[in-house]
Amino acid sequence: MEGTCIRWSSKVGFWVFKCGCVVDACEVFEEAEEGGSCDYDTYNAMIDGFASAERSEDAFLMFRDMQKGSFGPTEVTFVSVMSSCLSLRAGCQARAQAIKMGFVGCVAVNNAMMTMYSGFGEVNEVQNIFEGMEERDVVSWNIMVSTFLQENLEEEAMLSYLKMRREGIEPDEFTYGSLLLASDSLQVVEMIHSLLCKGGLVKIEVLNALVSAYCRHGNIKRAFQIFFGVPSKNLISWNIIMSGFLMNGHPLQGLEQFSALLSIQVKPNSYSLSLVLSICSSMSAVSHGKQVHGYILRHGFPSEVSLGNALVTMYAKCGSLDKALRVFDAMVERDTISWNAMISAYAQHGQGEEAVHCFEVMQTSPGIKPDQATFTSVLSACSHAGLVDDGIHILDTMVKVYGFVPSVDHFSCIVDLLGQSGYLDEAERSLFSACAAHGNLRLGRTVARLILERDHNNPSVYVLLSNICAAAGQWEEAANLGDTMREFGTTNKNTKFSPP
């Protein structure tokens, strides 16, 4: 009987993990259940399989069925269940059950609990579990460090790391990778670099994280020194240094690294090619961009949406709108970014009406929904082309149809559009009314600044802004604006300030 159970659990594991076919795994499980051959391992394989396939409800149902039968949950069961919790309530229930069944001292279960609570941003709960653990391993400490980092508590993360070292737990690549990825301080990066040199941890994952951290903090020279010294670079290493040169304003060196990558017979992936296309865009290097396009077609990447998007952007920024349109039309699949790229291409080339038409077609495309960037691009196109009616209609659509709150960029486009077209008074009224309607004082201040840049001595701006301040409950600021209005001599019966 025991051998039969092992065979059934192995079959379930094969279909779930090797083939990724949960349906077939379910059929195998049902056969085992009907034949009375289920055991702990069979149930655990199914729960873990459901969790891996992100079918959390099925994982919990299997967990309940396991409890109803003669099989109590094991350590492996709770680790899998914790990883599949879609709600904090479900996680709390699973935790209570684990405590009830005596798993409170199990390191793996406690680590799973911490990970679950961390996913819901429950820092205090993570700390409570961590501090209550009699035994901790490197995973426990890593969870604590990463939890602090994801909540932007960098100082607490560093203190946990130092305490980890004091207690004799040796950090691993995940520890250092987490600290380097999230650090906002170049000094912290340099400190970790020094510790790595002393400790001799030279795994490629850590070195890549270190190169990325120096790139992010603007020290591209140090980043390249480390990259150059890496003995066995992987594709991630090359992508990081190309991205680093691009973000630090050295696109030519980024292009040279792409050439070096090809020369050592390492095949780039879609991200590599997107990066080099961005480099070509920043340099307006259309000849290099065409060569990359040819590489994409020759090496089986033509259906990649991200590459189609990058090609559209590259050709548009290099002044070839026709080629951008050809790439866009040839794309088998498009996403929101694809449409945004094409609308931006029209805007960059001063073809406002085409940009508006593209936006209209986008709205009728199945499964495609405009985002904030879409409206920035199309409003910018309207501004440059002087399309007042279209611009106002699109802003109205943005708010009323899609429910977006206009940002500073959107307001700026409308101010420019109405101002250039001689409708500055209308701009003031409409934009300030929008700010007041949404209770957005920050945007109101920004709009006021934009208008005052055009018209330094416009007292009506202060009147409107004071009312927005009052609506937001900022009475002191409203009073100060009232003083400013009096300096202009505007406090009279026609511009009387009154709180809403």
Give pLDDT tens digits for 266-277: 899 999 999 999
Whole-number pLDDT of residue 87:
81
**DSSP secondary structure letters along 342-386:** HHHHHHHTT-HHHHHHHHHHHHTSTT----HHHHHHHHHHHHHHT
Spatial separation of the C-alpha atoms in residues 361 and 286, rounded to whole Å? 28
What is the rounded average pLDDT of the residues 289-301? 91
- Angle of the 220-229 helix axis to the 204-216 helix axis, nearest 10: 160
The first and second tokens of residue 45, run together, are: 């394989």
Return the pLDDT at 251.
Answer: 96
Asked whether residue 476 carries a pLDDT value surpassing 80, the answer given is no
d(CA 82, CA 119): 11
Q: What average pLDDT does the segment 366-376 reach?
A: 95
The highest-level CATH class for domain 233-333 is: mainly alpha
Q: Are 382 and 356 in contact (CB under 8 A)?
A: yes
pLDDT at residue 408 in the model: 76
Q: Is the pLDDT of residue 491 over 60?
A: no
- Number of H helices and E strands in the chain, helices first, is 29, 0
Per-residue pLDDT at 291: 95
Residue 498 has pLDDT above 50, yes or no: no
Highest-scoring range by mean pLDDT, 264-268, 270-274, 424-428, 477-481: 270-274
User: Which of 60-64, 95-99, 106-110 is predicted with the least confidence, judged by mean pLDDT?
Assistant: 60-64
Residue 13 pLDDT exceeds 50: no
Statement: residue 15 has pLDDT above 80 = no
At 184 the pLDDT is: 83
Q: Is the pLDDT of residue 33 over 70?
A: no
Assign domain 1-103 to its CATH architecture: Alpha Horseshoe (1.25)
Top-ranked range on mean pLDDT: pick from 281-290, 293-302, 402-411? 281-290
Tell me the mean pLDDT in the region 475-492.
59
What pLDDT, on a 0 to 100 scale, did the predictor assign at position 318? 95
Please give the structure tokens belonging to residue 146: 């990463």
- Burial class from Cβ neighbours inside 10 Å (0-12, 13-18, 19+) for residue 21 reads middle
Mean pLDDT of 385-397: 90
pLDDT band at 339 (very low <50, low <70, confident <90, very high): very high
Q: Exposed/middle/buried for 23, CB within 10 Å: 0-12, 13-18, 19+?
A: exposed
Instruction: Determine the average pLDDT of the residues in 412-440.
Output: 65
Tens-digit pLDDT profile for residues 205-215: 999 999 999 99
Lookup: tokens for 254: 């980024």
